[in-house]
Structure 1
């Protein structure tokens, strides 16, 4: 990346999932080789999102929460207030990274950030995401188009986890989830964004 082309950070606040998704698609379709990469920080009102090859049967029963069929990778997950969502809109060709490297970069950013709060977490080779004692605390999913990626990661901070009980999270029956608040860490979601963004920027711009 040219030295004068810093990654652009955007704090979107609480925004509807569909609206932000459409904006990511538009940004990626319109960008060119000179477009700076961007990181979007956002929270979403309650919504289930299903990945491109996801299966609807992972929604275990009808609920009032809307289900959006997205174009990211991965299966079914839940977004809601109190969850940090970070979208990475990056030119993989310019970064010299492949899809798997990008997923690993996102996982490591979460792992290193949680370590700052005294939480030991791990990635799992066969199930992308970040786990604390086999409970999922962060989900990941990317879409690669024309050598660029969008979508990103979500970290459960201090939210209502009940909607996860009505799905097979990420397609795994019985998978338990956790969050920072249940692990004794009480912070604002925007505060959690600080180390996560720091770790991502360090990986992107190194």
Structure 2
């Protein structure tokens, strides 16, 4: 089973969202799954059932309503975004298995840099000493998913203080840089894509 890897650079959130949605609507049972790696310029996004009151002060950062699950999060430069355009029926997995596979891929990636991390049953994502370092938000349509995860590599963390991250008041957020690992998002992607490949049984990557 193949997985197409796309390194897209810096991409506007709304344009990327439309592209993911169109890809999912148009795909067939034979369409190869894709993993999109990118960064977004600063934006707050609200999930389908997101509560606007979790945005405390958006300032000059735009707010976008999204069709992913979850509450509010922040995306910005220095954050590794991995969008998972996977056929869950073909992988023979459900959403819970997808979430845990992605969380475990991030946990294994952080372990490569000497950072012990954990998932939480009550709040999807990955945490280091109670501080959130990676967020997940997904949408499933007709057995196929899109959206995915964000890993804080070296972003400005200040915008997270202006929201209740993922709907949790007072939740602290951290990054690889804040934990003493000086790399860029694409460097962090190298081990992570390997762990994603292992987690879901893809035999090879194609361009």
The TM-score range, normalised by the shorter chain, is over 0.9
Query: In the TM superposition, what is the alpha-carbon distance from 1:189 to its structure 2 partner?
Result: 1.1
Question: Matches of 2:57 and 2:115 in 1, distance apart?
Answer: 33
Deviation string 1:63-83 (CA, Å, 9 cap, x unpaired) is: 110000000011100000000
Between Structure 1 and Structure 2, how many residues are aligned?
202
Query: In the TM superposition, what is the alpha-carbon distance from 1:61 to its structure 2 partner?
Result: 2.1
Give me the TM-score of the superposition, normalised by structure 2: 0.96
Structure 2, unpaired ranges of 5+: 203-207
Deviation string 1:94-130 (CA, Å, 9 cap, x unpaired) is: 0000011100011000000000000000000000000
Q: CA RMSD in A?
A: 0.8
| Structure 1 outlier segments of 4+, above 6 Å | none
Q: Does 1:8 align with 2:36?
A: no
Higher relative contact order (CA 8 A, sep 6+): 2
* Residue 111 (structure 1) aligns with: 107
Give me the TM-score of the superposition, normalised by structure 1: 0.97
Question: Matches of 1:74 and 1:61 in 2, distance apart?
Answer: 19
Question: Matches of 1:59 and 1:70 in 2, distance apart?
Answer: 14
Deviation string 1:16-39 (CA, Å, 9 cap, x unpaired) is: 000110000000000000000000
* Residue 172 (structure 2) aligns with: 176
Question: Matches of 2:162 and 2:97 in 1, distance apart?
Answer: 32
